[in-house]
């Protein structure tokens, strides 16, 4: 069957969300409400009668339309109720390059990688928390247990918040202090919309820790179907007392035994990956696709 390029106004969002919801590899990032926030004019590639889908978040710069991965969105790519083969991925990627000369996106872990330039491995860490907490804790590394002891002895206070402001303030402070490039003010504005929507739908939770009445770490947990995605923020004080270890452990204590997969949402950063694996997580691979087929002098275009 032919893959069709649909502009935003042509997409049947009811059919779209039905396919994402019923796909084994469906992710909250790919639901229409989420995409409407992070890339308001997203288009799509659709095979058949919404049997296989690929969202296309796009922008335009210097008159050049290009595909990009929205900030705070880890995986998109091809989604389907059926198995996705390497042939399917190749077919969709070929369609991408027909419509865009510059592509910088990330697929999902159910999309096989292609043996061609532009494909790079990315990693995330997952843990099944459907087991009793005692069993989860028994799989923690020795250093993880020491970090939890440090957290518990610190006198830290953990609370659950009903609004996003403290979490977002701390996250912005963290990114600016690390001088991380490529994140703009409007990225935090759309993350706020995502968080506020999920809080209204009771699919999001925010945990915040205080030490001596000063916020030091916070986490936002986004739940959809049986997957929980972690967004975290921390300052130096929180880092010194291993606050994020304590927050994650607290979430496990309160949700152990439920049919949930906890997604640490990365990372490729060795230290963060080490922390995640220390909880007993497993590593999962997905692919980043970055291809620049622009002619000179646009070859050095940066999004």
Question: What pLDDT is recorded for position 297?
Answer: 63
Range with lowest mean pLDDT among 60-69, 119-128, 284-293: 60-69
Q: What is the pTM of this model?
A: 0.92
Instruction: Tell whether the model's pLDDT for residue 51 goes beyond 70.
Output: yes
Same domain, 80 and 195: no
* Residue given tokens 């050049």 in the structure block: 64
Q: For residue 302, name the pLDDT band (cuts at 50, 70, 90).
A: low
Question: What's the pLDDT tens digit per position in 226-260?
Answer: 999 999 999 999 999 999 999 999 999 999 999 99
Domain check: are 30 and 94 in the same one? yes
Spatial distance between the Cα atoms of 25 and 6, rounded to a whole number of angstroms = 22
The CATH code of the domain that includes 244 is 3.40.630.30
Residue 266 maps to a domain:
no
Pair (71, 175) in one structural domain: no
Q: Is residue 161 part of a domain?
A: yes
Domain annotation covers residue 274? no
**Same-domain status, 101 and 141:** no
Per-residue pLDDT reduced to its tens digit, 264-276: 997 777 778 888 9
**With 80 as the cut, is the pLDDT of residue 29 above it?**
yes
Same domain flag for 46 and 64: yes
In a domain, 254, yes or no: yes
Residue-range definition of the domain harbouring residue 178:
130-259
Taking only the tens place, the pLDDT of each residue in 98-145 is 999 899 999 999 999 998 889 999 999 999 999 999 999 999 999 999
Please indicate, yes or no, whether residues 134 and 245 belong to a single structural domain of this protein: yes
Instruction: In whole angstroms, give the CA distance from residue 9 to residue 57.
Output: 14
Copy the structure tokens of residue 210.
């205080």
The CATH number assigned to the domain holding 58 equals 3.40.630
Same domain, 199 and 107: no
CA-nearest of 78, 77, 57, 54 to 67 is 57
The answer to whether 177 and 183 are in contact (CB under 8 A) is no
* Residue 278 lies inside a defined structural domain of this protein: no
| Whether residue 303 has pLDDT greater than 60 | no
Please indicate, yes or no, whether residues 180 and 232 belong to a single structural domain of this protein: yes
- Residue 166 and residue 208 in contact, taking contact as beta carbons nearer than 8 Å: yes
On whether residue 272 sits in a domain, the answer given is no
Whether residue 72 sits in one domain with residue 172: no
Q: What pLDDT score was predicted for residue 175?
A: 85
In tens, the pLDDT along 204-233 reads 999 999 998 899 999 999 999 999 999 999
Q: Is residue 67 part of a domain?
A: yes
- Radius of gyration, CA atoms only, the chain: 20
Summary mean pLDDT of the chain: 92
- Residue 43 and residue 135 in one domain: no
The count of structural domains within the chain is 2
Query: Is 140 a domain residue?
Result: yes
């Amino acid at each position: 069957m032919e893959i069709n390029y649909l502009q935003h106004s042509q997409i049947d969002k009811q059919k779209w969300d039905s396919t994402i919801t019923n796909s084994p590899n469906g992710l909250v990032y790919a639901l229409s409400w989420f995409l409407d926030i992070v890339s308001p004019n997203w288009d799509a590639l659709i095979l058949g009668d919404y049997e296989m889908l690929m969202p296309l978040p796009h922008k335009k710069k210097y008159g050049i339309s290009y595909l990009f991965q929205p900030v705070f969105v880890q995986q998109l790519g091809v989604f389907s109720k059926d198995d996705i083969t390497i042939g399917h991925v190749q077919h969709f990627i070929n369609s991408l390059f027909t419509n865009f000369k510059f592509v910088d996106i990330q697929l999902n872990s159910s999309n096989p990688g292609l043996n061609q330039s532009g494909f790079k491995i990315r990693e995330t860490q997952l843990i099944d928390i459907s087991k009793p907490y005692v069993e989860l804790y028994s799989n923690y590394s020795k250093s993880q247990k020491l970090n939890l002891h440090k957290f518990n002895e610190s006198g830290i206070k953990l609370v659950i918040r009903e609004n996003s402001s403290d979490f977002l303030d701390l996250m912005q402070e963290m990114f600016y202090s690390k001088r991380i490039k490529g994140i703009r003010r409007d990225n935090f504005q759309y993350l706020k919309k995502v968080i506020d929507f999920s809080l209204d739908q009771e699919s999001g939770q925010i945990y915040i820790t205080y030490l001596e009445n000063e916020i030091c770490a916070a986490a936002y947990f986004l739940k959809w179907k049986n997957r929980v995605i972690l967004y975290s923020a921390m300052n130096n004080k929180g880092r010194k007392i291993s606050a994020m270890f304590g927050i994650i452990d607290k979430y496990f204590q309160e949700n152990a035994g439920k049919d949930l997969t906890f997604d640490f949402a990365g990372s490729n950063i060795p230290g963060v990956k080490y922390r995640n694996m220390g909880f007993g997580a497993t590593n999962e691979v997905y692919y980043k696709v970055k291809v620049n087929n622009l002619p000179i002098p646009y070859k050095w275009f940066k999004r």
